[in-house]
A and B are shown apart, each in its own frame.
Chain A
Amino acid sequence: MPMDWIMGLAGGVLIGIAAAIYLLVNGKVMGASGIIGGLVDGSGRHELRERGALIAGLVIVPAIAALMMGGSQTFLTDNWAVIIAAGLLVGVGTRLANGCTSGHGVCGISRLSLRGIVATAFYIGAGGLTVVIFKHVLGVI
Chain B
Amino acid sequence: MRSFVSFIVGALFGLGLLTSGMTDTTKVQGWLDIFGNWDPTLAFVMGGAIIPMAIAWQLTRGRKPVLAAAFPAPPEPTLGRNLVVGSTLFGMGWGLAGLCPGPALASLSFGGIGGLLFVLAMIAGMAIAPPIRARLHEQTAAA
Interface residues, chain A, with chain B CB atoms under 8 Å away:
4-30, 32-33, 36-37, 40-41, 49-63, 65-67, 71-78, 80, 82-98, 100-102, 104-111, 113-116, 118-120, 122-132, 134-136, 141
Contacts and interface: CB of A to CB of B under 8 A. Distances in A.
Interface size bracket, B side: 35 or more
Contacts, number: 485
Nearest to A28: B72
A19 B53 contact: yes
B44 A32 contact: no
B90 A94 contact: yes
A106 B51 CA distance: 9
B68 to A, nearest CB: 3
B53 A13 contact: no
Interface string B81-106: 01111111111111111111110111
A90 B125 CA distance: 7
Given A96-B89, A100-B90, A123-B94, A57 B14 contact: yes
A23 B13 contact: no
A23 B56 contact: yes
A18 B95 contact: no
Contacts of A15: 12-13, 16-17, 20, 45, 48-49
Contacts of A129: 91, 95
27 contacts: A8-B44, A11-B21, A12-B44, A14-B13, A16-B48, A17-B12, A52-B3, A58-B14, A62-B14, A62-B15, A71-B110, A74-B23, A86-B97, A86-B99, A87-B122, A88-B121, A90-B100, A92-B125, A93-B85, A95-B130, A97-B90, A100-B100, A104-B87, A116-B75, A123-B87, A126-B95, A132-B34
The dominant DSSP class at the A interface is helix
Contacts of B106: 58-59, 62
A59 to B, nearest CB: 5
Contacts of A14: 12-13, 15-16, 19-20
B65 to A, nearest CB: 3
B2 A36 contact: no
A86 B121 contact: yes
Contacts of A75: 24-26, 98
Contacts of B119: 87
Contacts of A130: 32, 91-92, 94-96
Contacts of B5: 21-22, 25-26
B88 to A, nearest CB: 4
